[in-house]
Amino acid sequence: MRPTAAPSLAPAALRLGTEGAFAVLARAREIERTGRDVVHLEIGEPDFPTAPHVAEAAFAAIRAGETGYCPAPGIAELRDAAAAEIARTRGVPVAAEHVVVANGAKPFLLFAVLATCEPGDEVVYPDPGFPIYESAIRFAGATPVPLVLREHDDFAFSVDELAARLTGRTKLVILNSPQNPTGGVLDRATLAAAADVLRDGPAWVLSDEVYGRLLYEGEFASIASEPGMLERTIVLDSFSKTYAMTGWRCGYAAVPPPLVEVFTRFLVNSTSCVPPFVQRAGVAALIGPQDGVAAMLAEFRARRELVVSGLAALPGVTCRAPRGAFYAFPNVSALPLGADALADRLLEEAGVALLSGTAFGAAGEGHLRLSYATSRERLAEGLARMRAFLATL
Ligand code: PLP
């Protein structure tokens, strides 16, 4: 007898989460189609063009016929350049054969969880944090264990709380610094103390360092630099934010030796490889002039002053200065609306697209996230609209 049931979706597929920024962007576009103006403070993407010498490297590679498949973990030149970059900036020895290149940093989040966790295993991750962490954990059937970041700690985690969350089933700990959405930065002392509690346990570490070059105060530190940690840490970086290359889809990671082949197989089983001409652009970005990065950072720094002082001047709003990345995470808990309702009404009634802190986890309640990767004029307009809206509450 032929079965008659309708086709259905796998439970794991239904557990996939998403990014609130894309949903808000879609709604903002609908509003724009009705003729209304929207200030976009939702999407985390630099509003700068990719540097000409980087784009030119891709054009040259295409003209030279580099348009076929290439080795799954990356072309040798990019693995060399990325290994040198990680070694230089993190002060650790990295061999090119331990670098894997993928289509952005994002695939590595899935790869890391799927490669290390079985259903029932536990993953510690920051809350508030980039929503794809929790999505990947749930998709794998693993148990998400949030590690809360608190404003009064400048959005660093407590190492005692980290230690309290580790069990024999913790297979992966995800760290992110500079951090999305808070702009918090983990200092060397915190990372050294975290390394002490992680060094002898069963957990791998995924250190998401995609904002590592976008720092306004202090120095960048990676947990991979702590003794004994490189062997268990996936050091994740990307071209997206540093080089204004979000659409090129290229990221890379220094990967502990046992994971290199697994990650390579994920690539073989999914996208095969990052287009070779995109990788050539990546090489040019890493080894070419860095003045575009410095100019972008200087502009972000000026916008950061504008946004933080503008937000702090709004009645009922306080805002810490983010130390890295390009997000402000103001505290709006004194206002008479919850963060979700506030974000919705700011979009619908005031034409300001931004995210509720809860788009990054339960611990984001009482906050909004604004991306300041947009012009100073538009930022000023967004702040003026917020002020006018808050006056109506
Ligand atoms: N990690 C964090 C913390 C991010 O904020 C983002 C993008 O917003 C990513 C990873 C993904 O970056 P990519 O464009 O390299 O996939």
- What is the domain-level CATH number for residue 299? 3.90.1150.10
Residue 45 CA: nearest ligand 1 atom is: 8
Which residues does ligand 1 sit against, CB inside 6 Å? 44, 104-106, 130, 176, 180, 208, 210, 238, 240, 246, 251
pLDDT at 379: 98
Average pLDDT over every residue of 41-66: 97
- Output the pLDDT for position 279: 99
Q: Which of 237, 257, 287 is the last residue of a domain?
A: 287
Residues 269 and 381 in one domain: no
* Structure confidence at residue 1 (pLDDT): 72
Both 278 and 308 in a single domain?
no
pTM: 0.97
Domain assignment present for 60: no
Specify the range with the lowest mean pLDDT, choosing from 18-27, 165-174, 353-362.
Answer: 18-27
pLDDT value at 2 more than 90: no
Average pLDDT, the chain: 97
Q: Do residues 354 and 340 both lie within one domain? A: yes
- For residue 85, the model assigns a pLDDT of 98
Confidence class for position 331, pLDDT limits 50, 70, 90: very high
For residues 276 and 301, state if they share a domain: no
Domain span holding position 318: 11-49+292-390
Give residue 208 CA to ligand 1 midpoint distance, Å: 8
**Nearest atom within ligand 1 for CA of residue 107:** 16
CA distances from 105 to 24, 27, 280, 364 (A): 22, 26, 17, 23
Residue that finishes a domain, picked among 287, 302, 325: 287
Residue after which a domain boundary falls, among 236, 261, 287: 287
Percent of the chain with pLDDT over 70: 100
pLDDT digits (tens, 9 = 90+) for 215-247: 999 999 999 999 999 999 999 999 999 999 999
Does residue 3 carry a pLDDT above 90? no
Residue 141's pLDDT is what?
Answer: 97
| Mean pLDDT computed over 381-387 | 98
CATH at 114: 3.40.640.10
Report the percent of the chain where pLDDT is more than 90: 97
Say how many domains are in the chain. 2
Residues 265 and 383 in one domain: no
- How many A from CA of 336 to the centre of ligand 1? 32
